[in-house]
């Protein structure tokens, strides 16, 4: 029997409806959550992503500010912009869209973002708080994965979850989040150097594919009845957006699966909005 499709678009719509209600409640108290996105240069994908975040925040009733800088912006100039946003009381969340032009150091920039406004969860302080089990913000894509697992009815406590990919954006933070008390999963992080990746994946109740390789996860690598979350965003030969999972084949083995597009992607932007809402509350003493 074909796998049930975990509809990220539908889930994102429901979460955004709840966020909008909470933003309205904050507005009644005179508080409007504010999100600032900084983009350097004219990378087409980055422009699309920042536009999506801008529209989402405005639709939810948040203040949205886009800071567009030329590709030849210096490190000092970019860091000065971040410092200004750190000091701006109207801004609760700051994100610097990656990738940056090659002459800029993204690590230095992320370290400068005020941890109280680090809604992209890329500051080492934020990552460290998560690693020691006392998180401030969750990374947006892994945060979305958690909600998708809930949507699929996965009981993470005691579940064996294999994450294929060890990036600081998805694999590492997701592993930390899944092992927090309350989630209590048994997590394996696999990657390009893992011996017999198929065997490691077949041992899992849940496979999360986040390696950035088209069709990496095939049907023979998935245990019958497992849940598969596809974080991959790749382009095939005709330019279509595809994931890391052979969707057609794996759908015949898994019990539930996310599509690409329409799975994890909509949740990433949604959880950025959630983090901005949480930042607005925290910066004002946790008022609801």
Active site residue 53: yes
Active site residue 120: yes
Say how far residue 107 (Cα) sits from the centre of its chain: 18
Give the separation between CA 80 and CA 83, rounded to whole angstroms: 5
Q: Would residue 183 be called left, alpha or beta, if left means φ above 0 and alpha means ψ between -120 and 50 degrees?
A: alpha
Give the separation between CA 279 and CA 188, rounded to whole angstroms: 31
Give the separation between CA 170 and CA 210, rounded to whole angstroms: 7
Which of the following is catalytic: 53, 117, 205, 274?
A: 53
Which of the following is catalytic: 92, 120, 205, 230?
A: 120
Which of the following is catalytic: 92, 97, 114, 118?
A: 97
Query: So which residues are the catalytic ones?
Result: 53, 97, 120
């Amino acid at each position: 029997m074909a796998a049930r499709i975990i509809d990220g678009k539908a889930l994102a719509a429901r979460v955004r409806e709840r966020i909008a209600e909470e933003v309205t409640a904050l507005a009644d108290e005179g508080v409007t959550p504010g999100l600032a996105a900084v983009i350097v240069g004219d990378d087409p994908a980055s422009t699309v992503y920042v536009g999506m975040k801008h529209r989402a925040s405005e639709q939810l009733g948040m203040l949205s500010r886009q800071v567009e800088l030329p590709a030849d912006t210096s490190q000092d100039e970019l860091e000065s912009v971040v410092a200004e946003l750190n000091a701006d009381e109207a801004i609760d969340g700051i994100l610097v869209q990656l990738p940056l032009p090659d002459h800029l150091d993204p690590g230095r920039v992320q370290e400068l973002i005020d941890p109280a406004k680090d809604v992209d969860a890329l500051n080492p302080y934020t990552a460290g708080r998560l690693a020691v089990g006392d998180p401030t913000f969750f990374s947006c894509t892994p945060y979305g994965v958690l909600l998708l697992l809930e949507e699929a009815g996965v009981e993470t406590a005691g579940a064996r979850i294999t994450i294929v990919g060890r990036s600081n954006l998805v694999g590492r933070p997701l592993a930390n989040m899944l092992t927090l008390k309350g989630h209590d999963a048994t997590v394996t992080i696999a990657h390009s150097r893992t011996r017999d990746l198929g065997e490691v994946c077949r041992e899992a109740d849940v496979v999360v594919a986040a390696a950035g390789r088209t069709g990496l996860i095939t049907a023979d690598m998935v245990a019958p009845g497992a849940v598969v979350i596809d974080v991959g965003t790749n382009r095939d030969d005709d330019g279509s957006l595809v994931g890391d999972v052979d969707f057609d084949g794996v759908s015949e083995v898994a019990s539930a699966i996310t599509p690409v597009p329409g799975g994890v992607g909509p949740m990433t932007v949604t959880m950025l909005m959630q983090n901005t809402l949480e930042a607005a509350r925290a910066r004002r003493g946790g008022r609801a």
